[in-house]
């Protein structure tokens, strides 16, 4: 277990992504994954109010509802660290104070809880003054509805502005960020990492497995049945991707573990990263994600230089 910097939140080194719950994982499979994760020491779940409004017939909130029902069944809310987000749900867009307050109450109801451990601004809202957004988040913290706040998909400049304004106005400040970062997508290292380092913030990256490519299930000539398959093929099915998988294969063999576990281990070893997010739609997938291993300096260098 690790403690997220600037918080008293103690979490498992794998944050379970809830973006698939109610989408590519039905209720039954979602609960199987959640049960295995919790029964094997997991306690950190990431979701959002807009999951999974993109699916036909969905309106958003499906993931939160599944998680809320599961926690009620297991009676384990006090043992969980729950992160959710505001700003991208079609019916609750942006970071205006009234919207943040209403969205928070709706998330609390779906999650069947009276507090959110980590509440993200899911994306920046340039049309709302930063001080208004931060004041709204600060009010939620003072009311006991939210413990900590974080930022997702911000530019370095806007993140720094937000941190500076919070300090100037003595308001609650973002303690962490959530952005895309994995062995195949490494722009973060030059765009945002310096700002997080300078301010002592932690990164909790999404797409830690490059939408499934870094699990090793995608191979030359192999057809994968997945809602993400086309996007993965277009982005990662190239010489660089295949060469990286060869290195991951060898390291996984050396550690007697999964390719996914090695990919996540590399992320954990990177500066500013607290714990990566990865999602699973069925039991065999969560079993591949759970092992927490430590790579040697040579293995880290081999992957970093890929």
| Catalytically active residues, by annotation | 51
Reduce the secondary structure of the chain to three states and give it as a string.
CEECCCCCCEECCCEEECCCECCCECHHHHHHHHHHHHHCCCCEEECCCCCCCCCCCCCCCHHHHHHHHHHHHHCCHHHCEEEEEEEEECCEECCCHHHHHHHHHHHHHHHCCCCEEEEEECCCCCCCCHHHHHHHHHHHHHCCCEEEEEEECCCHHHHHHHHHHHHHHCCCCEEEEECECCCCCCCHHHHCHHHHHHHCCEECCECCCHHHHHHCCCCCCCCCCCCCHHHHHHHHCCHHHHHHHHHHHHHHHHHCCCHHHHHHHHHHCCCCECCCEECCCCHHHHHHHCCCCCCCHHHHHHHHCC
Residue with token string 């709706």 = 106
Q: How many CB atoms lie within 10 A of CB 20?
A: 23
DSSP 8-state assignment for residue 173: -
Judged by phi (left if over 0) then psi (alpha if -120 to 50, else beta), residue 218 lies in: beta
């Amino acid at each position: 277990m690790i403690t997220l910097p600037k918080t008293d939140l103690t979490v498992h080194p794998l944050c379970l992504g809830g973006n698939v719950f109610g989408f590519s994982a039905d209720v039954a499979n979602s609960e199987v994954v959640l049960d295995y994760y919790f029964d094997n020491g997991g306690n950190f779940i990431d979701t959002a109010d807009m999951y999974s409004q993109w699916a036909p017939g969905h309106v958003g909130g499906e993931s939160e509802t599944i998680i809320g029902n599961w926690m009620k069944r297991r009676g384990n809310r006090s043992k969980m660290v729950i992160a959710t987000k505001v700003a991208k749900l079609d019916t609750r867009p942006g970071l205006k104070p009234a919207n943040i307050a209403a969205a928070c109450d709706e998330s609390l109801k779906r999650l069947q809880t009276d507090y959110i451990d980590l509440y993200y601004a899911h994306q920046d809202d340039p049309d709302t003054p930063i001080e208004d957004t931060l004041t709204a988040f600060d009010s939620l913290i003072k009311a006991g509805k939210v413990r900590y706040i974080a930022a997702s998909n911000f530019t370095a400049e806007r993140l720094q502005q937000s941190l500076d304004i919070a300090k100037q106005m003595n308001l609650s400040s973002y303690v962490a960020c959530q952005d895309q970062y994995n062995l195949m997508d490494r722009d973060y290292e030059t765009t945002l990492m310096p700002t997080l380092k300078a301010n002592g913030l932690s990164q909790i990256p999404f797409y830690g497995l490059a939408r499934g490519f870094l699990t090793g299930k995608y191979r030359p000539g192999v057809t994968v049945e997945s809602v993400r398959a086309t996007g993965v093929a277009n982005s990662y099915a190239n010489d660089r991707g295949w060469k990286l998988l060869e290195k991951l294969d060898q390291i996984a063999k050396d550690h007697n573990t999964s390719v996914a576990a090695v990919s996540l281990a590399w992320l954990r070893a990177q500066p500013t990263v607290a714990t990566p997010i990865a999602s699973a739609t069925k039991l065999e997938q969560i079993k591949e994600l759970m092992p927490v291993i430590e790579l040697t300096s040579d293995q880290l260098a081999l992957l970093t230089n890929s």
